[in-house]
Amino acid sequence: MNKSNVTAVILSGGRSSRMSGKDKGLLLFRNEPLISYVIDVISGNVDSILVSANRSIDSYQKFGHVITDNLSGFQGPLAGILAALDVVSTEYLLVLPCDSPFVNSVIINRLESEMKKSKCDICVASDGKKMQPVFSLVRSSLRDNLYDYLSTGERKLRAWYESNETVQVDFSDHKDMFINLNTKEDLKKFQ
């Protein structure tokens, strides 16, 4: 596995209700937009970068190719993953959130290593206690599988993972990567 067969999608398409509707990825954290921390980690390590966003399209354009959900009404991370799978040409899709500024390159290396070793459909991060579902590596061939799943009305990310051949990858030695900044208080706490 090498960067030429991995596309990254940064999930930035949520309602952001706990941030008064402001796009989390564009909020400043230590003088940089939150999304830029993820971009810094994946740049040069993937073939291309997609940004899943449902508003502020022009602002997100400078971070990658912006895609929007094909499903209306902010239906969650799986809608963003499906939109990415609709356009990828690489074998794998790396999924990361826009609001986790402490992510580092260990996430890419370990997920790729486990995917290569286990030959599963999905590798998803675990903090040692629970799954961290928006940190994953997904085979692009699962596009139709995900479409069928969403067609049933289901929207649960973990349940979709569990319906496929999924391996949880231990990142208990890098738990800080999974700190996400969901509220204004979180932004202040970690400044």
Can you give the residue ranges of every domain in the chain? 3-190
Return the CATH number of the domain spanning residue range 3-190. 3.90.550.10
Q: Which pLDDT belongs to residue 2?
A: 77
Mapping DSSP to helix (H, G, I), strand (E, B) and coil, where does residue 7 land? strand
Could you tell me the pTM of the whole model? 0.93
In tens digits, the chain (191 residues) has pLDDT values of: 678 899 999 998 655 545 555 688 898 999 999 999 999 999 999 999 999 998 889 999 999 999 987 766 556 899 999 999 999 999 999 999 999 999 999 999 999 999 999 989 999 999 999 999 999 999 999 999 999 999 888 889 999 999 999 999 999 999 999 998 877 777 777 77
Q: How far is CA 53 from the centre of its chain?
A: 12
Q: Which pLDDT belongs to residue 1?
A: 67
Neighbours of 10 (CB within 10 A): 29
> Which whole-number Å values give the CA distances from 42 to 63, 65, 115, 162, in the listed order?
11, 14, 17, 26
Q: Which pLDDT belongs to residue 16?
A: 53
Q: Interhelix angle for 143-151 vs 77-85, to 10°?
A: 140
Q: Which pLDDT belongs to residue 189?
A: 77
